[in-house]
Amino acid sequence: MRILLFTFLLAFSSHLYSQETKDYKLTDKAYGLAWDGINFWFIDTNRRALIKINEIGEQEIYNLGLANLRGISYDQREGRLLVVAPKMIMKVDPNTGGITDRISIPVQNVAGVASVGNFYYILDLENAKVQIFDKVSSIMVGGFFTDRTRPRDICYGRDSLWISDSADNSIYRYDTKSGKITGSIKTSLRSIRGILLSGSKIWVVDRESHEIKNIPFIETERFIASGDEEYTLEVSLKFKIDTVSISKAQIAIAHPPSNEGQRIRSVKFTDATYKPAFIQRNRVHLKKMTIEDSPGEQVVKYKFTSRNQFIKYYVGDEYLNREASYPPDTSYFFDKTKENPKLFLSDYLNTIKNERTTSQSLDQFRDRMNELAIPSIPYRMIRFENKKPKSIEDAVMLFLLGYGWVPVGDLSIAASADHRYFEKKETDLILYQSFSKTPAVSPVYFKKDPSSEWENLPAEITYKIK
């Protein structure tokens, strides 16, 4: 039976890889999601049916007549759709919608299935566990707990397993061998069900809006970034210059750092005598003082926009015991003479976790990092909640040997937490960071003459959110 049930919000492309961000309407009780190279497929749990969305926007319904249908995926090796029901995986011909094979599995409450080589990875809702089923022997050969509250679907792609969780409407990436979480993607949706990864795109079924949605994300070897927020701030700095003559002096105001976690743009100063410049590769606005300027109290105002991303870093096995050295640009942030050349990244990770759990304060933690020759950049951030500033916090960025910079935004860490995992929240905006391992007291720097060193001045900082 073929009927036209809806109109696409945008025209359907002939290939999933070429599609831009688009949303597609579904029936009320959609669950699971698959792509066979031409069509989307999903399950309607009310109808007990498999539904195909073709390239011109028509839906074709295949009634399977089984209760508790949930997961669906496409096995490229066999050219078959995989549909799960209690204690069963069904193979379906995408050309006819007919069932070609039934595989018995010892899992009653199945949410989804992913075919990886000679194994099926089955998402078991009973205990939030991924069960590994050997296709040849037809027995379970292992598995791992997802540690998710309400996992809903599973898929395979980019050498990882991906699981959607409706508890926080996030997507979690897992290592297929260790079962460890290697990253996650935060979404703004409210009721995630199916998940599909194809190429560089992730698609999910949003039960509440009855739509297939494309979830934007950035994935590198070190992290996954998603779920961003944009903030525009007006900052006012009040500080004092205690010197008689300032005719050869300079004032520099450090920009908020622009990095993979926050992208700073449109930095504008009210005083046009402040010009863009650099100090130790850090962007600043610099003013060269003249005889017309006066010492004493100074007030500087500027504004900027920051687009912040939610990032989860994971230090994979490939980084743990590789031989590496610190790059030259880390020299400002640690004492090279204290370095132990016999240590690997795995040693540093264990030490960092121990110090996070035993340090009584952030100052004590930073001191320990300096003693252990772990490069650190202290910074001060504004922590937002519902786009409103909640608090100002101090934190630190650490350089992991052979891996790169990672944030430690909160000192507290559960004793059972994975010590290879670090997080940067989109609600944390770094206002300024230090130019060395010594914490900066403000973003204001002063040089009394060209031959002098830069001095970090204390400042009263106020800001408004636009």
Q: 397 has which bridge partners? A: 377, 407
Q: Which residues contact 367 (CB under 8 A, 6 or more apart)?
A: none
Q: What is the reported pLDDT for 409?
A: 92
Find how far residue 427's CA is from the centre of its chain: 12
Check: CB of residue 101 under 8 Å from CB of residue 115.
no
Q: What pLDDT does residue 21 have?
A: 36
Number of CB atoms found within 10 A of residue 81's CB: 24
Q: What is the mean pLDDT of residues 260-283?
A: 94
Position 455 scores a pLDDT of: 96
For the chain, which residues make up each domain, given as ranges?
A: 2-216, 222-466
284: pLDDT strictly greater than 70 = yes
Percentage of residues in the chain with pLDDT exceeding 90? Answer: 63
Better-scored residue on pLDDT, 191 or 105: 105
Tens-place pLDDT, residues 216-231: 888 888 889 988 899 9
Rounded-to-integer distance, Cα 7 and Cα 3, Å: 12
Q: In the structure encoding, which two tokens stand for residue 197, read together?
A: 């990864």
Burial zone of 18 (CB within 10 Å; 0-12 exposed, 13-18 middle, 19+ buried): exposed
Q: Is the pLDDT of residue 360 over 90?
A: yes
Average pLDDT, the chain: 89
Q: What tokens were used for 465?
A: 């959110």
The vertex-409 CA angle with 441 and 466, nearest 5°, equals: 70
Q: Quick one: pLDDT at residue 11? A: 32
> So what's the pLDDT on residue 413?
83
211-215 and 223-241 beta bridge pairing? unpaired
Give pLDDT, residue 24: 56
Q: How far apart are CA 47 and CA 223, in angstroms?
A: 40
Residue 2 has what pLDDT? Answer: 34
Residues 423-435: tens digit of each pLDDT: 999 999 999 999 9
Chain centroid to CA 351: how far? 24
Nearest to 153 by CA among 92, 73, 82: 73
Q: How far apart are CA 261 and CA 307, in angstroms?
A: 8
From the centroid of its chain, how far is CA 44? 31
Task: Please state, in angstroms and rounded to a whole number, the distance separating the CA atoms of residues 380 and 326.
Answer: 24
Mean pLDDT of 330-336: 94
- Calculate ∠ Cα 174-180-183, nearest 5°: 55
> Residue range 381-407: average pLDDT?
94
Residue 429 and residue 382 in contact, taking contact as beta carbons nearer than 8 Å? yes
CA distance linking residue 168 with residue 149, whole number of Å: 9
Amino acid at 288: K
Please tell me the predicted confidence (pLDDT) of residue 269. 98
Token code pair at residue 344: 């690997």
CA-only gyration radius of the chain, Å: 27
Tell me the two tokens of residue 261: 């976690």
pLDDT band at 12 (very low <50, low <70, confident <90, very high): very low
- What SS3 string covers the chain? CEECCCCCCCCCCCCHHHCCCCEEECCCCEEEEEECCCCEEEEECCCCEEEEECCCCCEEEEECCCCCCCCEEEECCCCEEEEEECCEEEEECCCCCCEEEEEECCCCCEEEEEEECCEEEEEECCCCEEEEEECCCCCEEEEEECCCCCEEEEEEECCEEEEEECCCCEEEEECCCCCCEEEEEECCCCCEEEEEEECCEEEEEECCCCEEEEECCEECCCEEEEEEEEEEEEEEEEEEECCCCCCCCEEEEECCCCCCCEEEEEEEECCCCCEEEEECCEEEEEEECCCCCCCEEEEEEEEEEEEEEEEEEECCHHHHCCCCCCCHHHHHHCCHHHCCCCCCHHHHHHHHHHHHHHCCCHHHHHHHHHHCCCCEEEEEEEEEECCEEEEEEEEEEEEECCCEEEEECCCCCCCCCCCCEEEECCCEEEEEECCCCCCCCCCEEEECCCCCCCEEECCEEEEEEC
Mean predicted confidence (pLDDT) in 319-331? 89
pLDDT higher than 90, residue 417: no
Q: Measured on CA atoms in the order 432, 438, 441, 443, is the torsion positive or negative?
A: negative
> Which CATH code fits 2-216?
2.120.10.30
Phi, then psi, of 47 in degrees rounded to 5: -80, -15
Neighbours of 77 (CB within 10 A): 8
| Least confidently predicted of 87-91, 143-147, 204-208, 355-359 | 204-208
CA distance 284 to 295: 21
Q: Please give the pLDDT value at position 386.
A: 87
